[in-house]
Amino acid sequence: MELPKPRTMAARSLLLLLSLTIAGVFQSRAQLDSHGFISIDCGLPGTASYVDDGTGLSRRLHRHGTNYDISPDYITEQLSRTYHNVRSIPNGTRNCYTLRSLTTGNKYLVRAAFKYGDYDSLNRPPVFDLYVGVNYWKTVNLVDPDDVIRIVEAIVVVPADFVQVCLVNTDSGTPFISGLDLRPLNNSLYPQANATRGLVLLGRFNFGPTNATDVRYPDDPLDRIWLPWIDNTNWTEISTTLTVHNSLVDIFEAPSKVMQTAITPRDASKNIELSWDPKPQPKDPSPGYIANLHFSELQLLPSGSVRAFYVNLNGDLWYSLPFTPEYLYADALFSLDPTKRPKQSKGFQDGYSDFGGNTENDHEKTKVSAIAAIKAKYRVQKNWIGDPCLPRTLTWDGLTCRYAISQPPRITGV
Ligand SMILES: *[C@@H]1O[C@H](CO)[C@@H](O)[C@H](O)[C@H]1NC(C)=O
Ligand SMILES: *[C@@H]1O[C@H](CO)[C@@H](O)[C@H](O)[C@H]1NC(C)=O
Ligand SMILES: *[C@@H]1O[C@H](CO)[C@@H](O)[C@H](O)[C@H]1NC(C)=O
Ligand SMILES: *[C@@H]1O[C@H](CO)[C@@H](O)[C@H](O)[C@H]1NC(C)=O
Ligand SMILES: *[C@@H]1O[C@H](CO)[C@@H](O)[C@H](O)[C@H]1NC(C)=O
């Protein structure tokens, strides 16, 4: 049996020490709705709210900075209303939104969205920094490619009953923002995030969806965004209409809609391989990554047969046993601590190895846990070459999804 290689979500772990300071020339306040959600459409004038077509959630409008409509050239039927206008913040180095009425010590998903759309008619998309409180979160680069929607997401434990999201001008254009969301998470979810460590999302994918739409609220009650990843050339997509349940102790609560579709390699002798390039961060030149892999069996297998596969991380067995997904129950493989890119990796039989180098023993060992039981130990794999797999119109900054194929695992979501 060959190793199915892990796939790609990886939340970049960043130390987000959430001690907050008040910063900013203006403050925008935002309050919770009945779901405990905060949804701000940063670019709209006035104070009314509207119901978002896609999610049915009410969006509040905000009144700070200057609002602009994006150029009509960029408005399409599919473009969510959130992106039709932006809030532009020309003055001051650091400007913050304050999200209030939170519960101190609780875990939240914070998501900021950006679409430039030549709103200022300068055709000069900016680059600027985002902070959660005083902690660097991400550099928002709208230059390349310049017409995408950028979504930046973090999972953080808040040290106070509010959290600030700050846009920091780095002299590379005027910061702006299209939308800002906050969603509560149970503290047991995403155990990799705690009071001293936040997670920055690299990507979250739904494999083998029946059509190319995102999955989010209400299909995912937590309103995570699961991007479709479709590759009919290399993968066979399988699905069920039956509900896929979360196990009682599920710490990710992957939604049934995501778990109902999955992939297996079209060529059963191949593996599924997913990789990405670490992106040096201002205070962390070689960031570590955490992968959470979600699995469920979707097919009733003939009696006596078993689907089992290995999962490797950076070329080494991550999980010591063959993994067998449970029929219609979601399980996950994940590491609690970040894995660094190996200094070098073993050669890969598929010829995609690109780390060069020959020495071994340099991999960082990573602890892996599975929900249902302690299942095994694996690690991730290096890079390969391949085409970016996402629709280029919506991307999480920093993710290059590349993969080659491998063997009969089924991956339902990352
Ligand atoms: C930015 O500052 C200038 C000069 O102080 C002022 O005229 C302008 O109204 C300010 N713009 C915003 C959006 O606050
Ligand atoms: C959090 O967990 C509690 C108990 O485990 C549950 O009752 C509650 O619905 C959960 N909240 C969310 C937002 O999932
Ligand atoms: C957060 O997790 C990291 C890694 O497991 C650990 O070193 C740190 O002590 C944890 N922080 C808290 C407050 O538990
Ligand atoms: C995509 O599939 C979902 C059900 O899986 C369906 O509700 C939705 O209408 C489909 N969208 C398109 C554009 O076909
Ligand atoms: C299928 O896999 C090959 C080899 O890894 C890759 O070059 C190709 O881009 C993949 N096909 C698609 C549609 O992404």
Q: Answer left, alpha or beta for residue 71, where phi above 0 means left and psi between -120 and 50 means alpha.
A: beta
pLDDT at 373: 28
Ligand 3 atom at minimum distance from 195 CA: 13
Whole-Å CA distances, 40 to 28, 119, 206: 10, 19, 25
Residue nearest to atom 3 of ligand 3 (CA): 197
pLDDT at 49: 60
Ligand 4 atom at minimum distance from 211 CA: 1
How does DSSP classify residue 226?
Answer: B
For residues 135 and 193, the answer to whether their CB atoms sit within 8 Å is: no
Distance (Å) from CA 255 to ligand 3 centroid: 27
Alpha carbons 45 and 60: distance in angstroms, whole number? 10
pLDDT at 350: 26
**Tokens 């200022």, located at residue:** 120
From the list 366, 354, 350, the residue with the least C-alpha distance to 265 is: 350
Residue nearest to atom 14 of ligand 2 (CA): 186
**Domain chopping of the chain, boundaries:** 16-187, 369-413
Alpha carbons 171 and 128: distance in angstroms, whole number? 8
Distance (Å) from CA 211 to ligand 3 centroid: 39
pLDDT along the chain (414 residues), means of 10: 31 23 36 78 64 65 74 91 91 87 95 95 94 89 83 94 92 94 95 93 92 92 94 93 89 96 92 86 84 94 92 86 92 88 45 26 33 26 23 32 32 47
pLDDT at 138: 92
Distance (Å) from CA 331 to ligand 5 centroid: 27
Whole-Å CA distances, 39 to 61, 116, 266, 275: 9, 19, 41, 32
Alpha carbons 324 and 282: distance in angstroms, whole number? 40
Alpha carbons 244 and 252: distance in angstroms, whole number? 13
Coil vs helix vs strand at 245: strand
Top mutation candidate among 211, 226, 230, 242 for ligand 4, by most atoms within 8 Å of CB: 211
pLDDT at 134: 81
Q: What token pair was written down for 320?
A: 């010591």
Torsion of Cα atoms, 222 then 396 then 369 then 190, to 10° = -30
For residues 22 and 158, the answer to whether their CB atoms sit within 8 Å is: no
pLDDT at 372: 30
Whole-Å CA distances, 51 to 40, 56, 81, 266: 11, 6, 10, 41
pLDDT at 45: 64
- 186 touches ligand 2 (CB under 6 Å): yes
For residues 309 and 408, the answer to whether their CB atoms sit within 8 Å is: yes
Ligand 1 atom at minimum distance from 88 CA: 13
Q: What token pair was written down for 309?
A: 């596969």
Distance (Å) from CA 10 to ligand 3 centroid: 18
Residue nearest to atom 3 of ligand 2 (CA): 186
Alpha carbons 324 and 296: distance in angstroms, whole number? 9
- Paired residues of 98 in beta bridges: 29, 164
pLDDT at 296: 95
Residue nearest to atom 5 of ligand 3 (CA): 337
Return the ligand number nearest the Cα of 252.
2
Distance (Å) from CA 412 to ligand 4 centroid: 17
Residue nearest to atom 4 of ligand 5 (CA): 404
- Give the CATH number of domain 16-187; options: 3.30.210.10, 2.60.120.200, 3.40.50.2300, 2.60.120.260: 2.60.120.260
Distance (Å) from CA 337 to ligand 3 centroid: 9
pTM (predicted TM-score)? 0.77
Work out the angle at residue 188's Cα, subtended by the Cα atoms of residues 33 and 36, and round it to the nearest 5 degrees: 0
pLDDT at 46: 54
Percent of the chain that is helix, strand, coil (3-state, to 5):
0, 35, 60
Top mutation candidate among 197, 335, 368 for ligand 3, by most atoms within 8 Å of CB: 197
Ligand 5 atom at minimum distance from 389 CA: 14
Q: What is the DSSP string of 77-91?
A: TTS-GGGSEEEE--S
Alpha-carbon Rg for the chain, nearest whole angstrom, is 21
